Amino acid sequence: MIELSLLLGFPAAGALVAAFFGAGRRGPELNALCSLATLLAACALTVRVIGHGQVLLAHEQFFVDPFNVFLVALTAFVGFTTALFSRPYMRTEVVHGRVTAGRLRLYHAMYQLFMLTMLLALTTNNMGLLWVAMEAATLSTVLLVTLYRTPQSLEAGWKYFILCGVGIAQALFGTILLYFAAERVLGAEGVTALLWTHLDAVKGELEPAVIALAFVFLLVGYGTKAGLVPLHSWLPDAHAEGPTPISAVLSGLLLNVAIYAVVRCKVLVEGSLHSPVPGRMLMGFGLLSLVAAAFFLWRQRDIKRLFAYSSIEHMGIITFAFGLGGPVASFAALLHMTVHSLTKSAIFFVVGHAAQKCGTPLMDGIRGLVTVSPTIGWGLMLGALAILGLPPFGVFASEFLIVTTAMRDEPWTAPILLVALGIAFAAIFGRVQPMVFGETSARRLPHAPALLPVFVHLAIVLVLGLYVPPYLADWYRAAARLVGGP
């Protein structure tokens, strides 16, 4: 209980404090400090869950099980490292005159608020609150996306707001239908009928006809936030136009949370429908996202857009894996969520500094990083290799399991996967190589870049590729059992 209240309390407090002092000289440190506190609370909670297994808190309003506790830990961790990264980054932005002190305050407050909403969405047991938190996450980031007030950022923010708002509205309708179906089983007192644990208990008795509709609405709603093609249109803009730390957390964390919501719903629906249709839908979305993203990647010129599309691609892979179902694929999907968010945020860190160094986000302007600053260059190269699924990085481990399982269970998907992954590889690596190698065009930065997070992330990803610690593996297994379906 105490851990949870701390977990949610620190960011809330942080948001308040930052709203007043976020603009100060120590604003960034404040931000990092709150994130650190959150991380510690998350660790405490994790330890607790490892000790006692899943827990229900606050009149069952909160629910922590292996599935979401590792997402909580991950979120808190990446939130902290991103805060570390954003210290020099935002300072440099201020020096370059792209943001003012006032905006910096907004930035820090919203950053903490965003953390809060994500943690809330992850830990809540109430499908309604889950929806509320997701919507709140959108609202808290939309002003961050438009932080620079450039025409592009405004456009991106607007699209982000409208598309996600509309999408999430569908999710609300889905929730209503879910409630409607649950109420007929759990009785009309209405308090428990939206609690996931209760729904999970009675999922077998829920009315299939209603649940099917509910799932469609929920899928479209949360799928929009997860950036599944063709609901993805807002994603590249929003991820590319905001400040890089925000891109990092949007790609690395928010997408995970959306996928988490989708999977929670899928568990219920599959329990009720006893049909492969939901899985098939997920697989369809996954493959579509994978293929479309691969082709989009081919034409990119802006480095952040490139990696935004790569996020869509990986969300596609994860969704596809969850759609495949079964212990192995679900395990792989969970692993992929972890390594993708770590790798992608690391890449965005590097990309941010690289773009600052070269003074442009256009890839044609970024050249020969390895010669001018080896750490950034090698960071980008290794990050790209990792995200492209080259071993021994963890992304390869999950893709290995996913591809082999797909080949075994759904052979017809194999050629699609092969082509899409190949095109994506050619697209991304063909862009990254000249940025890392060759003659250079970069300059020095006013604040020393914080590259420690990058290499910490990559190191973790590397380790996950070669050795998954037993307790982590147990989480994954438990979670896989939970969501893996039959």
CA angle 404, 428, 375 (to 5 degrees): 105
What is the per-residue binding string for other proteins in 375-394, x denoting contact by CB under 8 A? ----------x--x-xxx--
Cβ atoms of residues 324 and 402 within 8 Å = yes
The DSSP result for 269-335, as a single string, is HHHHH-SSHHHHHHHHHHHHHHHHHHHHHTT--BHHHHHHHHHHHHHHHHHHHHHH-HHHHHHHHHH
**Binding of other proteins by 121 (CB under 8 A):** no
**Binding of other proteins by 281 (CB under 8 A):** yes
Count of residues that bind other proteins according to CB under 8 A: 114
Residue among 380, 384, 423, 435 that touches other proteins (CB under 8 A) = 423
Residue 464 token pair? 């996950």
Residue among 142, 262, 450, 482 that touches other proteins (CB under 8 A) = 142
Taking the C-alpha atoms of residue 383 and residue 368, their distance in angstroms, rounded to an integer, is: 16
Query: DSSP state, 124?
Result: B
Residue among 6, 56, 139, 185 that touches other proteins (CB under 8 A) = 139
Residue among 69, 220, 283, 363 that touches other proteins (CB under 8 A) = 220
The DSSP result for 393-446, as a single string, is SHHHHHHHHHHHHHHHH-TTHHHHHHHHHHHHHHHHHHHHHHHHSSS------S
Q: What is the distance of C-alpha 210 from the center of its chain?
A: 29
Between 187 and 359, name the residue whose CB sits nearer to other proteins. 187
Closest to 206 in 3D by CA, of 148, 255, 273, 141: 273
Query: Segment contacting other proteins (CB under 8 A): 62-70, 170-178, 246-254, 447-455?
Result: 170-178
Q: In a 10 Å sphere around its CB, with 0-12 CB exposed, 13-18 middle and 19+ buried, how is residue 415 labelled?
A: exposed
Q: Closest separation between CB of residue 268 and other proteins, Å?
A: 15
Q: In a 10 Å sphere around its CB, with 0-12 CB exposed, 13-18 middle and 19+ buried, how is residue 447 labelled?
A: middle
Residue among 105, 159, 264, 304 that touches other proteins (CB under 8 A) = 159
Between 39 and 317, name the residue whose CB sits nearer to other proteins. 317
**Binding of other proteins by 222 (CB under 8 A):** no
Q: Closest separation between CB of residue 388 and other proteins, Å?
A: 8
Taking the C-alpha atoms of residue 219 and residue 125, their distance in angstroms, rounded to an integer, is: 18
**Binding of other proteins by 359 (CB under 8 A):** no
Number of residues in the chain: 486
Q: Which residues, numbered 315-344, are part of the site for other proteins (CB under 8 A)?
A: 326-328
Query: Segment contacting other proteins (CB under 8 A): 93-101, 188-196, 197-205, 351-359?
Result: 188-196
- Residue listed under structure tokens 């609150």: 129
Between 200 and 207, name the residue whose CB sits nearer to other proteins. 207
What is the per-residue binding string for other proteins in 60-99, x denoting contact by CB under 8 A? -x--------------------------------------
Residue among 408, 446, 448, 452 that touches other proteins (CB under 8 A) = 408
Query: Segment contacting other proteins (CB under 8 A): 69-77, 215-223, 341-349, 353-361?
Result: 215-223
